[in-house]
Amino acid sequence: MQNPIITGAMFKHMLQSAAQAMKAQETKVNELNVFPVPDGDTGSNMARTMSACALAVSSVDGDDDIGQVIQTAATALLRGARGNSGVILSIWMRGMSLVLKDQKKADGIAIAEALISGMEAAYKAVMKPVEGTILTVAKDAASAAVSQAKQSNDAEEVLGAAVMQAKATLSRTPDMLPVLKKAGWLILVGKGWLLSFLLCLLFWKAQKRSWKRWGNPLGLWGRLMSRKRRAFTLIVQN
C-alpha cells in the first residue's frame, strides 16, 4: 500500500505525465485513427488538448487540494479541446470533477466514483453511443475500479485495476466495432507484406543463388505479392 490517497500535487503530476505520454505517442495514435472519420489527427488532437491542460494545472498553487486541480484541468480541457477526441477528454474530466471538486484528497472510493461519473458524463453527451470506442473502455475501467475499491480503499490499487481492465477491453474492441477489425486486418496485411519481403530476402541470402536464377529479392517479393494481391483485395472489400 504505497499511495492510498492521491493529493493535489500528485494529480497535477499525473496530468502532466499524461500530456507528455500523449505527445510521445502522437504519431502512433494518428496512424490508428480509423473511427469515426479516418483523418489521422486523433493523436495530435489529444496531445494538444492534454498540453493545454498540463499548462493550466502547472500554475495551480493548491498542492493539497485535488478539487482545485481537477476543476482547473476541466476548464482548461474545455477551452483547449481539439477535435472529437479532445471533446471526449473534456467531457470525461468534467464528469470526474463533479465528484472531486469539493475534496482535498482522493482515496480509492473517491477515485472509483469519479471514474463512474466521468463515464456517465461521456455517455450522456452522445445520443447514440457506439460500443467499441473509448466509451466502452471507460465503462469497463470504471466498473473495475469500483470492484477494486470495494476490496481495498487504496487509490493506487484502484487506478491500477482500472488501467488493467482498460487494456483488456481495448484488446477486445475490434470484435465490437467492425471498422476496427477491418483496420486491424489491413495493419496485419501490411505487417504481413513486410514480413514476406524480409523472408524473401533471407531465403535469397540463405540459398546463395545467383541473381540470374532467382532474380533480386525485390523481384522475388513482387512475384510472391502478385499471387497474394487477389486475396488482399477480397479482405479489403469485406
* Chain contacts with other proteins (rule: CB under 8 A): 36-37, 39, 78-79, 81-84, 86-88, 90-91, 94, 121-122, 124-130
CA dist 216 and 229 (Å) reads: 20
Helix (H) or strand (E) holding 37: none
Q: Which is nearer to other proteins, 42 or 165 (CB)?
A: 42
Nearer residue to other proteins within complex by CB, 79 or 205: 79
User: CA–CA separation, 33 vs 41, rounded Å?
Assistant: 7
The distance of closest approach from Cβ of residue 180 to other proteins in the complex, given in angstroms and rounded to an integer, is 15
Work out how close the CB of 195 gets to other proteins at its nearest, in angstroms, rounded to a whole number: 30
As measured in angstroms, the least distance from the Cβ of 86 to other proteins is 6
- Minimum CB separation of residue 126 from other proteins in Å reads 5
Written as one string, the DSSP assignment of 126-175 is -SSPPTTSHHHHHHHHHHHHHHHHHH---HHHHHHHHHHHHHHHHHHHHH
Quickly count: other Cβ atoms within 10 Å of residue 185's Cβ: 16
Nearest to other proteins of 79, 228 (CB atom): 79
Pick 85 or 153: Cβ nearer other proteins: 85
